[in-house]
């Protein structure tokens, strides 16, 4: 898999915001999958959820959106999909998947699959005991895989 990077703002241990490049091929889901801790089905479902989250534009913005400017002249953008419609569709799929995961499961799912938190960090943030996150994450991913109809 070729490295794919996104920029993300994180808070360092001193409370300062830092802009970092995140290698998506080294995501927490990819790490768990590479070590045999997640099935292919669970990995694909989590990756699809993350992709919809990104397409929907639900992540934090660090700059102004320039793509919302009106088109130039008549027929501008003809033949291309409306980015607003694609974004709304991704948002609907994301919301449906999160609803399918259910309350109590969606928290760790979002943290690991979308926000890129490691499993240990997500467990600590949620106040869970050690090793509880993997079980809850796999339950959530199982529901999301069924919702996305991942084989």
Report pTM.
Answer: 0.72
Give pLDDT, residue 57: 82
Give pLDDT, residue 137: 97
Residue 20, Cβ neighbours under 10 Å: how many?
Answer: 12
Give pLDDT, residue 42: 97
Spans of the chain below 50 pLDDT = 74-76
- What are the sequence ranges of the domains in the chain? 25-60+85-151
Whole-number Å distance between alpha carbons of 86 and 132: 36
Q: How many helices (H) and strands (E) does the chain have?
A: 6, 2
């Amino acid at each position: 898999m070729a490295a794919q990077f996104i920029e993300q703002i994180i808070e360092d241990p001193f409370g300062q915001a830092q802009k970092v490049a995140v290698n998506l091929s080294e995501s927490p889901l990819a790490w768990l999958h590479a070590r045999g801790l997640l099935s292919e089905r669970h990995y694909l479902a989590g990756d699809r959820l993350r992709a919809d989250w990104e397409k929907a534009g639900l992540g934090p913005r660090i700059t102004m959106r320039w793509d919302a400017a009106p088109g130039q002249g008549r027929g501008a953008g003809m033949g291309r999909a409306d980015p607003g419609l694609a974004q709304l569709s991704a948002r609907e799929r994301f919301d449906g998947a999160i609803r399918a995961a259910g309350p109590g499961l969606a928290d760790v799912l979002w943290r690991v699959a979308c926000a890129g938190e490691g499993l240990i960090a997500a467990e600590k943030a949620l106040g869970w005991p050690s090793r509880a996150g993997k079980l809850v994450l796999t339950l959530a991913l199982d529901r999301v895989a069924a919702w996305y109809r991942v084989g």
